[in-house]
Amino acid sequence: MARLSLERIYADENGQPIPRLLDVYPDGTEEYEPQEDPVTKLGQTLFRIFQERRDVFDIDAPKRQDAKDEEESDDDKEEQPEKATQKMSMTPEDLMKMRNELMPQLHIAMGEMSLARDLLALLLSNSPPTAQAPALAVSTVSKPPPIPSVAAFNTLLTTGGKDESLRSASDVLGTAAREIERVNESNEKYWQNALLVRSSGWGLVPAPLPPGTSGGNKFARDFLISYGLEQASPPFKRRALAQLSTNSPSPLTFPAREGLRLRVTYETANGSSSSMVGRSKSSDNLDEILRDAQSEVVESEIFRRLIEEAGSLPTAGARVSEKLIVVEAAQGVDLKFELVDEVEEDEASQPESIEACLIGSVLRLYLLQMHRSPRRSSRLLQPIIDVVQYVRFCERVEDEVTMMASSLRDAGFKVRVRFQRVGEGGEGIVGGERMGGEAVLRVDGRHTVRLTMEAPCRLVAHLGRATLGLSSMSQLSQLLREEMEDYLLRKICEAGPEAGGWVVDRMTGSVVGNVGGENRQVSVRFGTRYGIECRVGSRAFSGGRLIDWVRAIM
């Protein structure tokens, strides 16, 4: 690379000397440095040389020094004859020492004289002729012509250095141009994305000024996108901020995004199934990216509220850790709420279930309800537990009613069962109403047992003679046995010979009558899994049609 010389320019293009400018006055007058006379300058230089190096040009100086040394030696001879004798004789070492001291000074003097001679020759060759002829001889020194090969090599070096400099400058300018073009494209893309985000309904807020910025400039070009829920708590609203990016490959950057999603697991005795409340989608669409980020913040807020409620559940127990909540919602049913990395979840995915998906969707609805009515005492986890307990409770009630109906059908009765678990609409349930349903057991189109259920585990039996509240499955089983036994006994009275001659003895739970002058007693009992056992006197029957047994016995 060629380098610029730092030497001051002393001649113009025509070879004329350029005077040194000292000052420019207001009226435009220029003041230059006065030119010195070469002869005067040469005299001053020579005078300075004689002044500074007087000991070299003084011929009598060695004689005076020798006389002084002789006087000193005479004095020393008088005082110390022996030492004077030793000083008069010089050893080779002393001569060598003296030579080493004098030779540098002689070389310096010779160099100065040569310099003065060359200077005089140069001045005399360039100075105009004067009236007085110079006293010193003039010798002209010309520079030898360069060797052609060396001159060519020097030209190549100069040309190569200039070419390299030009190429380097061109690369710098090209890089700067590309950078300017990239910045312009990035800025244009920035504003396009800002307009797209705003047209999609997302909130844009001005970005805070960088630390250390003066308070006078209150304006900022950058924007922040607020994608959190409007009524969310302040910590989650601060997390729900995105930045429009100009340098990264992604159009948006999320400073506080954690990448954790909520997974709901519904475990029963038959196995477990889980479901992700939401999954991120790989897309370049700004609206979809912001929706995924919003879902992530909403799920984080749901999990935080679940942790707060898990410690004070009235009808269930819970185990809480940093990213896992396990709730014993009902007998044989556990609910797990876990924050997991979505990448790990995709690698170890489990079969999804309807229950887990519904729980995840209902959690979002309950959170929106809490945001809509912040002063109202709303909860997230307790309604979910009530629903799970109610579903488990309905399953057990349906099992009891179904077993009773199956046993009656085997005995020859026409049985109809209607079971409706949920009687309310979705709006009422989300609005805080209790979930409820009913079960109806009708035998021969005449006798009916109606049961109403209410979350989480409330059961009421509506009979013809009374309305009873039941608090356990054993009470329900006992009620169904008594009602059906009473109906079967009345049915036996109607089916037996000499109708009207048979009566029901409620103390013994049997039918008493007279057949051919002989008293007969018929009793009916429900055994294990509502199996019907009929006993006439000491004879017992089971299986088959009940009416056929009675007619055969009577």
H, E, C per residue of 348-392: CCCCCCHHHHHHHHHHHHHHHHHHHCCCCCCCCHHHHHHHHHHHH
CB 310 within 8 A of CB 320: yes
Q: What is the pLDDT of residues 513-525, one digit of tens each?
A: 766 667 777 778 8
423 or 312, greater pLDDT: 312
Highest average pLDDT, of 103-107, 187-191, 227-231, 450-454, comes from 450-454
Query: Cα(319)–Cα(490) distance, rounded to whole angstroms?
Result: 54
CB 476 within 8 A of CB 470: yes
91 is a domain residue: no
What is residue 301's predicted lDDT score, i.e. its pLDDT? 93
Which range (9-18, 86-95, 543-552) has the least confidence?
A: 543-552
> Quick one: which of 242, 226, 243 has its CA closest to 234?
226
- Residue 460 clears pLDDT 90, i.e. is over it: yes
- Residue 544 clears pLDDT 70, i.e. is over it: no
499 band by pLDDT with thresholds 50, 70 and 90: very low
Token pair listed for 44: 């001053």
Residues 462 and 348 in one domain: no
Residues 342 and 474 in one domain: no
- Residue 542 clears pLDDT 70, i.e. is over it: no
222 is a domain residue: no
What is residue 133's predicted lDDT score, i.e. its pLDDT? 47
- Residue 159 clears pLDDT 50, i.e. is over it: yes
458 band by pLDDT with thresholds 50, 70 and 90: very high
Token pair listed for 251: 């159009």
For 131, the 3-state DSSP assignment is coil
> Quick one: which of 492, 509, 484, 548 has its CA closest to 501?
492
> Quick one: which of 383, 379, 389, 233 has its CA closest to 309?
379
CB 25 within 8 A of CB 184: no
- Of 339, 356, 378, the position where a domain reaches its end is 378
Residues 346 and 437 in one domain: no
345 is a domain residue: yes
- Residue 215 clears pLDDT 70, i.e. is over it: no
Residues 401 and 320 in one domain: no
Q: Give the count of beta carbons closer than 10 Å to the beta carbon of residue 460.
A: 15
- Residue 551 clears pLDDT 60, i.e. is over it: no
135 is a domain residue: no
Residues 414 and 357 in one domain: no
Q: Give the count of beta carbons closer than 10 Å to the beta carbon of residue 384.
A: 23
What is residue 441's predicted lDDT score, i.e. its pLDDT? 93
Q: CA-CA distances (angstroms) from residue 324 to 265, 303, 307, 353?
A: 11, 9, 9, 19
Looking up tokens 């170890």, which residue turns up? 348
- Residue 189 clears pLDDT 80, i.e. is over it: yes
Residues 359 and 394 in one domain: no
Residues 358 and 405 in one domain: no
206 is a domain residue: no
Query: Cα(166)–Cα(160) distance, rounded to whole angstroms?
Result: 10
User: Which stretch of DSSP H or E encloses residue 503?
Assistant: strand 503-505
- Residue 98 clears pLDDT 90, i.e. is over it: no
46 band by pLDDT with thresholds 50, 70 and 90: confident
Query: Cα(118)–Cα(139) distance, rounded to whole angstroms?
Result: 9
Q: What is the pLDDT of residues 73-88, one digit of tens each?
A: 666 556 555 554 455 5
Mean pLDDT confidence for 16-29: 79
- Residue 533 clears pLDDT 60, i.e. is over it: yes
Question: Structural domain tally of the chain?
Answer: 2
Strands of 132-238, DSSP E: 203-206, 223-226
Percent residues over pLDDT 70 in the chain: 74
Residues 360 and 406 in one domain: no
Token pair listed for 534: 């009929």
Residues 536 and 409 in one domain: yes
**Burial level of 280, CB count in 10 A (0-12/13-18/19+)?**
middle
Q: CA-CA distances (angstroms) from residue 506 to 487, 490, 510?
A: 12, 11, 7
DSSP summary character for residue 207 = P
The angle, 0 to 180 degrees and rounded to 10, between the axes of the packed helices 286-310 and 381-410 is 80
Residue 114 φ/ψ, nearest 5 degrees: -60, -40
Question: Between the CA atoms of 120, 124, 126 and 127, what dihedral angle is there, to the nearest 10 degrees?
Answer: 120
Residues 344 and 394 in one domain: no
The chain-wide mean pLDDT, for the chain, equals: 78
Query: Cα(345)–Cα(260) distance, rounded to whole angstroms?
Result: 10
529 or 193, greater pLDDT: 193
What is residue 274's predicted lDDT score, i.e. its pLDDT? 66
416 is a domain residue: yes
Q: Which residues pair with 32 in a beta bridge?
A: 21
Query: Cα(49)–Cα(39) distance, rounded to whole angstroms?
Result: 15
Q: Is 543 left (phi over 0), alpha (psi -120 to 50) or beta?
A: left
Residues 340 and 463 in one domain: no
Query: Cα(284)–Cα(282) distance, rounded to whole angstroms?
Result: 7
132 or 150, greater pLDDT: 150
- Of 344, 378, 412, the position where a domain reaches its end is 378
> Quick one: which of 378, 381, 388, 293 has its CA closest to 342?
293
138 is a domain residue: no
Which range (112-116, 184-188, 330-334, 376-380) has the least confidence?
A: 376-380
CB 360 within 8 A of CB 277: yes
Looking up tokens 């396009």, which residue turns up? 192
Looking up tokens 């060695």, which residue turns up? 62
Query: Cα(119)–Cα(117) distance, rounded to whole angstroms?
Result: 5
Residue ranges of alpha helices (H) inside 255-380 are: 286-310, 342-347, 354-372
Q: What is the pLDDT of residues 352-392, one digit of tens each?
A: 677 788 888 888 888 988 888 876 667 888 888 988 889 88
442 band by pLDDT with thresholds 50, 70 and 90: very high
Residue 221 contacts by C-beta under 8 Å, 6 or more apart in sequence? none
Task: Record the pTM.
Answer: 0.58
What is residue 126's predicted lDDT score, i.e. its pLDDT? 62
347 band by pLDDT with thresholds 50, 70 and 90: very low
139 band by pLDDT with thresholds 50, 70 and 90: low
What is residue 10's predicted lDDT score, i.e. its pLDDT? 67
Sign of the CA dihedral 547, 551, 553, 554? positive
Residue 270 contacts by C-beta under 8 Å, 6 or more apart in sequence? none
Highest average pLDDT, of 40-54, 82-96, 103-117, 465-479, comes from 465-479
What is residue 424's predicted lDDT score, i.e. its pLDDT? 67
What is residue 346's predicted lDDT score, i.e. its pLDDT? 52
290 or 248, greater pLDDT: 290
- Of 357, 378, 399, the position where a domain reaches its end is 378
Per the structure, the complete domain to which residue 488 belongs is given by 388-553
Rg (CA), the chain: 59
Token pair listed for 400: 């009891």
Which range (129-138, 223-232, 323-332, 339-348) has the least confidence?
A: 129-138
Which range (41-45, 125-129, 268-272, 433-437) has the least confidence?
A: 125-129
436 is a domain residue: yes
- Residue 286 clears pLDDT 80, i.e. is over it: yes
DSSP summary character for residue 540 = E
Highest average pLDDT, of 24-38, 112-126, 325-339, comes from 325-339
Residues 448 and 483 in one domain: yes
The angle, 0 to 180 degrees and rounded to 10, between the axes of the packed helices 38-52 and 92-126 is 170
Percent residues over pLDDT 90 in the chain: 15
DSSP summary character for residue 444 = T
End-to-end CA separation in angstroms for the chain: 129
419 band by pLDDT with thresholds 50, 70 and 90: very high
